[in-house]
Structure 1
Amino acid sequence: MGRPRKFDPEVAVERAMGVFWRKGYAGTSPQDLVDALGIGRGSLYNAFQGKNQLFQRVLVRYHDQEAVRLIELLDRPGPVRERLRSALETIIEADFADPDRRGCLAVNTAIELAGRDEEATRLVRRMFDRLESTLRALVEEGQRSGEIDRGRDPAAVAGFLLSAINGMRVLTKTAESPDQLRRIVDATLDLL
C-alpha cells in the first residue's frame, strides 16, 4: 500500500504556473519546481510524470482561470466598443500591476514552444481560437448594433483584434508606461 500524498496536486499546479510564467518552460528546472511546490523530486514525477506533463496541466489551468476572465469581460452586457475598451484596458492594468511583467503565459508559450512542442502548441491554439471566436461574436454583435462597420469581414476583424491583444501582451514586457499601450487601444478602436 502506497503512502498518502502529502500535497494537494491542484495547489502544486497553481504554484508551478507561477514558476513557468515567470521563467518560461526552458528556464524552469525540475529543481525550481521541487522548491516552489515544496515536494520531493519523486513526488513531482509520481504525481505529474514529468515537467512537460505538469506544464500541460499549467496551460489548462491558465486557460480556465486567466483566459476565461478576458472572455467573460467581452461577453458581459453593454455597448460593444465599451466592452472591448474595458477588456483591453484591464489587460494593460493587470500587466503593469505585475512586478515581473510576465505578460500572457499563452503568448509567452507560443513564442517559446510553438512548432517545437506539439501539445503546448495545441493548448495555446485552443486558447487563441476560443478568444478569436468570442471576438468574432462581439464584432458581429457590433455590426448588428451599428457600432462596427457592417462592410468588414467579422473573421478578419476578430483576427486583427486577437493580434492587437497578443501584441499588447508582448509590448507590456518592455513598455515604459501604460500610455504607450493605451494609444494602441485607441488606434485599434478607431480602425473598427
Structure 2
Amino acid sequence: MPRVKNFNEEETLNKAMCLFWRNGFYATSMQDLVNHLGINRASIYDTYGGKKELFDKAFAHYRATNRQQLQAFLESQESVKKGFRALFESGISEAVCDAERKGCFVINVATELVPNDTEMLNVIKENKAFMIATFEDFLKKGVDSGEILATKNIQNLASLLHTFFNGIKVVSKTDANEEALLASVDTVLTLLD
C-alpha cells in the first residue's frame, strides 16, 4: 500500500527554494533539507528525487515564478522609461530590505555552479536569453509609442539593461546604498532618451 504524503508539495518546494537560495547548492546538506522542510529523507527522495533533483525543481520554480512576475509587471506599465525605473527601484528595494542579503538566485547559481556544470550553464544562458528578449519586447513598445527613438539599438539596450539589473543584485549584496544605486539607475536610463 502506497504511503500518504502528509505535506504540501508546492509549499515544501518553496521552502527548499529559499534554503538553496540562501545557502547555495553545496552548502546545503540533505540533513539541512530534512530539518528545514520538516519531512523525512524518504519523503524527499520519493517525492523529488535526490538533493540535485530537488535543487533543479526548486530553481526551475524560482525562474518560472520570476518570469511570470516580470512579464505581468512590465505589461502593467504605461511608460517604458518609468516602467524600467520602477523595475529597478523594486529590485533595489527588495535587496535593501533583505536582511539575509541573498541577492538573485540565478546569479548565485551562476557564480556557484558555472562553469563546472554544463547543464546549469545552459539553463543560465536560456534564462538570460529570456530576460533580454523580454526587455527587448518592452523597449519595442516604447519605440512603437514614440517614447524611445526608432534609431536606438534595441537589442544592445536590452542586453545592457539586463546586465545592469543583474549588477544591481550583485552590488546590493555587499553595499545596499539605496541612494547610490538609484543614482546609477537614473544615469543608465538616460540611454533611453
TM-score (norm 1): 0.92
Once the two structures are TM-superposed, the CA of residue 135 in structure 1 deviates from its matched residue by: 0.5
Corresponding position of 1:49:
49
Hey, what's the Cα distance between the residues in 1 that align with 2:124 and 2:41?
27
Matches within 5 A, 1:40-189: 40-189=40-189
How many residues are treated as equivalent by the alignment? 192
State the alpha-carbon separation in 1 of the partners of residues 30 and 19 from structure 2: 11
Matched, 1:31 2:31: yes
Cα RMSD over matched residues? 1.6
Letter of the 1:175 counterpart: D
Is the CA contact (8 Å cut-off) linking 1:56 and 1:120 kept in structure 2? no
- Structure 2 unmatched ranges of 5 or more: none
TM-score w.r.t. the length of structure 2 is 0.92
* Structure having greater relative contact order (Cα 8 Å, sep ≥ 6): 2
Paired with 2:50 and 2:121, the residues of 1 have a C-alpha distance of: 18
- The DSSP-based 3-state class of the residue aligned with 1:165 is helix
Deviation at 1:8, TM superposition (A): 2.0
Alpha-carbon distance in 2 for matches of 1:77, 1:166: 21
Contact 1:71 1:134 in 2 (8 A): yes
Give me the identity figure in percent: 32
Structure 1 residue 121: Cα displacement:
2.9
Structure 1: runs of 5 or more not aligned = none
Per-residue displacement from partner, 1:65-111 (whole Å, max 9, x unpaired)? 23432232222241110111111101111111111111111111111
CA distance in 1, matches of 2:188, 2:58: 31
